[in-house]
Amino acid sequence: MYKAGVIGCRGIGVQHATGIAGSDKARLAAACDLDQNMLDEFSARFPDEEVVQYQNHREMIEKEQLDIVTVATSDHAHATLVIDAAEGGAKGIFCEKPLATNLADADRMIAACEANGTLLSVDHTRRFEPLWRHAKEQIVDQGVIGPVQYVIGSLCGPRAMLFRNGTHTLDAICYYAGSAPEWVSAELEQGYEDYAEYRGDGGHVPATEPGANGYIHFANGVRGFYIGGSKNTPPPKQHIEIVGATGRLSLSGDQGTLQRGDEPPVALKYPQWPISGIPYGVRELIDVVASGGKLVSPGRTGHTVVELIIGFLESQQKGHAPVPIPVPRN
C-alpha cells in the first residue's frame, strides 16, 4: 500500500485526496498547508484516514517517506514542491496545472523527475473525462473523421486567463492535434500589450493575467487556433472543435456532437465512469506507478503547454511574429 500526501488543502486538494482515498493501492497518510484551519477542515473530510498534518512540505516529505505526492498550491509555487518531492523519493507526483509559470521552472521540474525516476502527471482535466477520452481514442485516433486538419479551442469569461483555464484549452488543442507544436504567433488581450512574463497572483484575481488569440502550427500539418478573452459570451464557456477531412467533432463540458460528411450532427454516446476528472487523474497515476503503463497527461505534455503560453507572450512582444517551439532559451 503506497503512502500518499497532499500539498495544498483547499478545494482542489480535497479532490486530489478523494482520488487517493478511493484507491485500493494507496492510503492518504499526510497533508500539508500553511493554514492550520485548512488542515483541520481537510482532515475532517476524511475521518477514516489517519492524516498526519504538516505546515512545512519538506518536513512532511522527509518524515513520511511518501510514495505519491500531489500538489494543489498556487500556480507559481509548483516548482519547488515538485522538485523537493522528486528528490525526496516520490515514485509519482500529480501536479496541478499549469505545470509552471516560466520555462526555467518547467525545465527544472522535468529534469528533477526524470533524474529521480519519478512519474509526473499534470492535471489537464479534460484528459481524465470520459467524453474527451472517448473522442480522442475512439473517434479521432480511429480515423472516424479522417485525418485531422485543424483544431479550434475557444474560452471566454473572466477566468479565461492564459495560465489558469487557458491551459486546459491549449492542452486540448494539442491532445487532438496529435503532434508536436513547431511555432506559434499570438496577440494578447487589449490592455496587456506589455505583459512579457507571468505577473499573476497564483490564479486568484483574473485581472492579473491576459487572455489571448493565437495560432499553433503542428509538425504533422495540423493547424491550431486558440481564442480566449475575458468578455462574456453565450455558453459554452469552453468549446473545442476538431475538424477532419471527412467529419468534425464539437466538444463542450460533458456534451459532444459528431458530424460525418454532409450528414447532420448527432450527439455522442460514450461510456460513463464511476469517477472522472481530477480524482480519476490521481487514481490513474497511482495505478501506473503500481502496475506500469503510460500516463495520459504526463509531465512532458504539461511542459509543452508552458512552452506555448510563453511563446504567446514572446510573440506579442515581437509584434505578433512567429516564435519557435521549443522557445529559444536565453
The DSSP string of 220-252 is TS-EEEEEEESS--SSPSEEEEEEESSEEEEEE
- Please report the pLDDT score of residue 184 as a whole number: 99
CATH number, residue 192: 3.30.360.10
Q: Do 144 and 66 reside in the same domain of the chain?
A: no
DSSP 136: I
Q: Do 95 and 52 reside in the same domain of the chain?
A: yes
Whole-angstrom distance, CA of residue 208 vs CA of residue 97: 17
Q: What's the domain count of the chain?
A: 2
Q: Do 258 and 153 reside in the same domain of the chain?
A: yes
Q: Is 65 left (phi over 0), alpha (psi -120 to 50) or beta?
A: left
- Within the chain, which residues score under 50 in pLDDT? none
Whole-angstrom distance, CA of residue 176 vs CA of residue 153: 11
Whole-angstrom distance, CA of residue 4 vs CA of residue 26: 6
Q: Do 19 and 137 reside in the same domain of the chain?
A: no
DSSP 48: T
Q: Do 69 and 160 reside in the same domain of the chain?
A: no
DSSP 24: S
**pTM > 0.95: yes or no:** yes
- Cell numbers at 134, concatenated: 472517448
- Please report the pLDDT score of residue 305 as a whole number: 99
Task: Tell me, yes or no, whether 301 lies in a domain.
Answer: no
- Please report the pLDDT score of residue 265 as a whole number: 98
Q: Do 111 and 139 reside in the same domain of the chain?
A: no
- Please report the pLDDT score of residue 204 as a whole number: 87
Q: Do 202 and 69 reside in the same domain of the chain?
A: no
Whole-angstrom distance, CA of residue 129 vs CA of residue 172: 12
- Please report the pLDDT score of residue 235 as a whole number: 87
Question: Domain span at residue 112?
Answer: 2-126+277-296
Q: Do 170 and 105 reside in the same domain of the chain?
A: no
Task: Tell me, yes or no, whether 13 lies in a domain.
Answer: yes
Task: Assess contact for 172 and 240: CB atoms under 8 A.
Answer: yes
Task: Assess contact for 27 and 4: CB atoms under 8 A.
Answer: yes
